[in-house]
Amino acid sequence: MINFTHVYKTYSENINALKNVNLEVSKGEFVFLTGSSGAGKTTLFRLISAYDQASSGDVVVANYDLAKISQREIPYLRRKIGVVYQDFKLLKDRTVFENIALPLEILGEKDSYIQKRVNQMLSDVNLEFKKYKYPAELSGGEQQRVAIARALVHHPGVLIADEPTGNLDPDLTEEIINLLEKVNAQGTTVFIATHDHEMVKRRNKRTLCLHQGVLSEGGNDV
């Protein structure tokens, strides 16, 4: 599902965000990515979602070779990926419902299906009573849950999430991870960057660690 082979990402002569990264995440896996701030986690996710390109090496996601992908193909790749951004990227002039519905609108789904599916996602993230609110009217944790619902609404084959529980209290963190595990059990590959080492330990999933751009198995550097 996700394959990196000898991948480097260099932003200048002295800044190597990723160094010789080799990675394979199989279909249906649930993987945590740990590492301190600036370790390269966000860069890795930007490469997976084709918002950036590797300086060298091969990146293949959902059978797309991202070194050779055309601009015309990128939207089709992104239809197979759900992304939860660290800064949420919610549209300020759209309600909670409208933000979550956006991927389905882009796909041209019928209004009746959009209504049903978005309401289901609102229930899953406990935001049924906020559906007509705007992002500015929500707490940080509520905005985060909207972003998660939007990322999952179109049944992506891969979900990548950059600190999806970073602004949530422990109870909500457990609810969101339970939701992501449920989605994973239904076949979605889940790849999560997190600083929450206690949560990682409780879940006992495959864990990768980035340290100064170098990827290794294990999650001690959080």
pLDDT digits (tens, 9 = 90+) for 178-192: 889 988 998 999 999
pTM recorded for the entire structure = 0.88
Q: Is 113 exposed, middle or buried (0-12, 13-18, 19+ CB in 10 A)?
A: exposed
Q: Structural domain boundaries of the chain?
A: 1-80+196-222
CATH class of segment(s) 1-80+196-222: alpha beta
Q: How far is CA 1 from CA 59, 112, 135, 171, 187, in A?
A: 11, 31, 33, 31, 12
Nearest to 24 by CA among 54, 5, 3, 41: 3
d(CA 178, CA 181): 5
Question: 150-200, pLDDT tens digit by residue?
Answer: 999 999 999 999 988 877 788 888 888 888 998 899 899 999 999 888 889
Question: 96-155, pLDDT tens digit by residue?
Answer: 999 999 999 999 999 999 999 999 999 988 999 999 999 999 988 899 899 999 999 999
d(CA 180, CA 199): 13
- Residue found by looking up tokens 């959902």 in the block: 62
d(CA 82, CA 94): 19
pLDDT at position 219: 57
**β partners of residue 206:** 31
Nearest to 61 by CA among 4, 100, 110: 4
What is the chain's length?
Answer: 222
